[in-house]
Amino acid sequence: MRINYSDISRSIAALTEGETDEVALMATVVCELHHADDRFDWTGFYRNVGNETLKIGPYQGGHGCLVIPFSRGVCGAAARTGEVQLVPDVDAFPGHIACASSTRSEIVLPVWGRTGELIGVLDIDSDQPDAFDEEDSVALTDILAKVFAGVEPAQAMS
């Protein structure tokens, strides 16, 4: 089944209304997204903990990498550039970090808080090649902007 972004956006909005704790929001978003689409093999957040470092946050799926520097991998590229990383073939991405050998494609989106600071990144991996497209990028960016718009980053440092 492919995700219905209109439905999942309404569901996530209802579940997260009034919540400002970033970890609670991350856990809820990840759970809802992960179970809404068969393409999503691993869905999780990496939190910006300062010093250009991401650490694992709430996730669904197998184990993720615990620490990712901004200088490495798809997640690091999203954090470093502030841009969505849409990767149709992870083996063709320079410096890809293989947290799971089953990953074939990936989308990683920066997550911004109320003050415009990077809270972290949302990482979605698929065991299917070329699983993600511009529709995913636009819809997921919109969901993240709505959910995290009122969040004051707890861990992130400038």
Q: Which two tokens stand for residue 92?
A: 């063709």
Is the pLDDT assigned to residue 14 strictly greater than 60? yes
Which CATH number is associated with domain 5-148? 3.30.450.40
Task: Give every strand in the sheet of 42-48, ordered side by side.
Answer: 67-69, 53-60, 42-48, 118-126, 105-112, 85-87
Mean residue pLDDT of the chain comes to: 93
pTM beyond 0.85: the answer is yes
Is the pLDDT assigned to residue 155 strictly greater than 70? no
Each residue's pLDDT tens digit, 67-126: 999 999 999 999 999 999 999 999 888 877 777 778 899 999 999 998 899 999 999 999
Whether the CA torsion 23, 152, 77, 88 is positive or negative: it is positive
- Taking residues 46-50, what's their average pLDDT? 97
Locate the domains of the chain by residue range. Answer: 5-148
